[in-house]
Each structure stands twice: as C-alpha cells, then as structure tokens.
Amino acid sequence: MSTLTITASDVNKLRLQTGAGMMDCKKALQEANGDFEAAVDYLRKKGQKVAANRSDRDAKEGLVLAKTTADNKRAAIIVLNCETDFVAKNEDFGKFANSILDVAIANNPVSTEELLALDLNGLMVSERILEQVGKIGEKLEISTYEVINAVKVVAYNHPGNRVATIVGFNKIADDQVARDVAMQVAAMAPVAVDKNDVDSSTIERELDIAREVIRAEGKPEDMVEKIAQGKLNKFYKDSTLLNQEFIKDAKLTVAQYLDKSEKGLTVTSFKRAALS
C-alpha cells in the first residue's frame, strides 16, 4: 500500500490545469502515485469514459455565441451543447464556450473537425471538451460551427444566448444598420438571403404543399398553378431576408431599408443558430 502523501498544493495545481473537482484531482493523483502527467491522463480518460456512457443522452441545452474579428471582415458562430439548463447558465461553462469561439476567431478553421483539432491551452479543443465532460458529468458537443467572410460582418448575440446570428455585407455598413439586420435574422429566421438563393428542393416542396391545399379547397385545376405561384411569392416575402418586412418599419422591406441607408448596400450571406 502506497504511503505517498498527496498535498493540497498538488491537488490545487491539477485542479487549475484541468478544471476537475478537488476530490477528482486527489483521486487521480492517488491512482497515478503522485505522477502529475499520469494524473492528467487519468482525468482525461475519465472524461472519455463519461462521454461514452452519455453518448445516447440528448444535449439540447447550451450556449449559442457569435463573434467577429477585430477588422470586422470575418465572423464565426458556435453552439456548445450540454444536457441541462443548470450547466448552460454556469459561469465556467460560459467562459469555456467563449474560449472555444476565441480559438475559432484566431485560427479560422473551415469546419467543426478543424476547430476540434486546434490547440486550446496545450490540448486539442476536443480533449478540453472531454475534460469538461469529466468535470461536469454531462454530454457536451459542438453541434454548430459556421463562418462567413465579407467586406463588413456583424455578430448579434440575443440576450440569453439561445440565438445568435452573423451577417455579411457588400459594403462598410453603418454599425446600427448592420445590427438591425442581424436582429432581423434572429427574429424572423429567413431561409435564404434572396429568392434566387432558395434551393430547388425547398421551392418544389412549397409548390407541392400549395397545390395540395388549393385542390383541397376545390379550386379549378386550370387555376392551380397560377395560385400556387402566388403562394410561392408569399413564401419568398415571408422567408427570404431581403424581401421580408423590416421589423422596425413594416412599410419597408429589408432590401429597401438597406438601400435607403446606403445606395447599393445589401447582404451577401448570413448564418443563424438557435437552441431548439
């Protein structure tokens, strides 16, 4: 039986590096016979075990965060999910989520896989997530990572961090105008920038639904396509950003609001993420 004494200083050092609880750190050091690196590995393995055991759990809570680079040319948005609202509201969880977003902003990964492989204080982001799984005891995952580049980008984080948006513009838009449009995306959840950006499968689905409804209403067959096209135009007005009524002035579309702000100003792309 080992008589090795694990000091409070050792435990605290391991806790500060890993974020694990005091008792977990003490046990890890005991299991590792005082070997600091082996204790870190023990905690990481514990995190992997917890992650595997909870792989069938639903991680529907979490935080949605968006941020721009200092030059406002690129923006990123992430969703870090957990299982409970209690964890999502924890200050340390928020700091951890923001640290991942900062890594994304600094390194510009093109995919979630690249983001997970980036360094975060000496370990890959994926390994840091496993550490947090071991510490918190809940399934954690990055379910969304998106990035856009444009002449001007803006990020909007809705209070509560359950919805966030990033929007790109073709010109240097006024900050308030850019924020207004980002808020519009958050509130109205458009499916595309303009009607030409709607994918063909969505258009066909909308037309199929419209035809079925029109026929159920008993309209003559020779009128079905014309009425269906009218309903499709209504879909474009409701569901594409530039054609939506501007939330701050229903007399204007978003396109008109932008053009009124600066001639030729428009949105090049946007991303919206939200917790279900």
Residues 116-134: tens digit of each pLDDT: 999 999 999 999 999 999 8
Segment 164-182 shows an average pLDDT of 97
* pLDDT number for residue 21: 79
167: domain CATH number is: 3.30.479.20
Note the pLDDT tens digit of each residue in 236-249.
999 999 999 999 99
Res 52 pLDDT > 80: no
* pLDDT number for residue 16: 72
Rounded CA-CA distance 101/62 in Å is: 14
Domain count, the chain: 3
* Mean predicted lDDT score pLDDT of the chain: 92
Note the pLDDT tens digit of each residue in 93-108.
999 999 999 999 999 9
Res 2 pLDDT > 90: no
Pair 142, 240 in one domain: no
Pair 123, 222 in one domain: no
Q: By mean pLDDT, which of 1-5, 82-86, 125-129, 153-157 is the weakest?
A: 1-5
> What is the extent of the structural domain holding 127?
61-188
Q: What is the dihedral angle through the alpha carbons of 109, 114, 116, 117, rounded to the nearest 10 degrees?
A: -110
Segment 25-49 shows an average pLDDT of 85
CB proximity list for 198: less than 8 A, separation 6 or greater? 191, 192, 236, 239, 240
Segment 41-54 shows an average pLDDT of 77
CA distance to 4, 38, 158, per residue, from 33 (Å): 7, 9, 48
Helix axes 22-31, 8-18, angle to 10 degrees: 110
Percent of the chain residues past pLDDT 70, beyond the cut? 98
SS3 content of the chain, % helix, strand, coil (to 5): 50, 20, 25
CB-hemisphere CA count at 13 Å for 33?
2
Residue 63, judged by CB atoms within 10 A of its CB (0-12, 13-18, 19+), counts as buried
Note the pLDDT tens digit of each residue in 69-91.
999 999 999 999 999 999 999 99
Segment 222-236 shows an average pLDDT of 94
Sheet holding 163-169, edge to edge: 152-157, 163-169, 267-274
Pair 66, 27 in one domain: no
Point out the domain boundary residue: 188, 223, 240: 188
Segment 47-51 shows an average pLDDT of 72
Residue 75: Cβ within 10 Å count: 29
Angle at 80 between CA 91 and CA 58, to 5 degrees: 110
Pair 163, 71 in one domain: yes
Pair 210, 95 in one domain: no
Pair 231, 132 in one domain: no
Q: Give residue for tokens 């406002």.
A: 72
* pLDDT number for residue 214: 92
* pLDDT number for residue 1: 38
* pLDDT number for residue 3: 61
Could you tell me which of 136, 135, 133, 132 has the C-alpha nearest to residue 51? 133
Point out the domain boundary residue: 188, 211, 239: 188
Percent of the chain residues past pLDDT 90, beyond the cut? 77
Pairing of strands 74-82, 141-149: antiparallel
Pair 79, 150 in one domain: yes
- The verdict on residue 256 lying in a domain is yes
Pair 65, 158 in one domain: yes
Pair 157, 210 in one domain: no
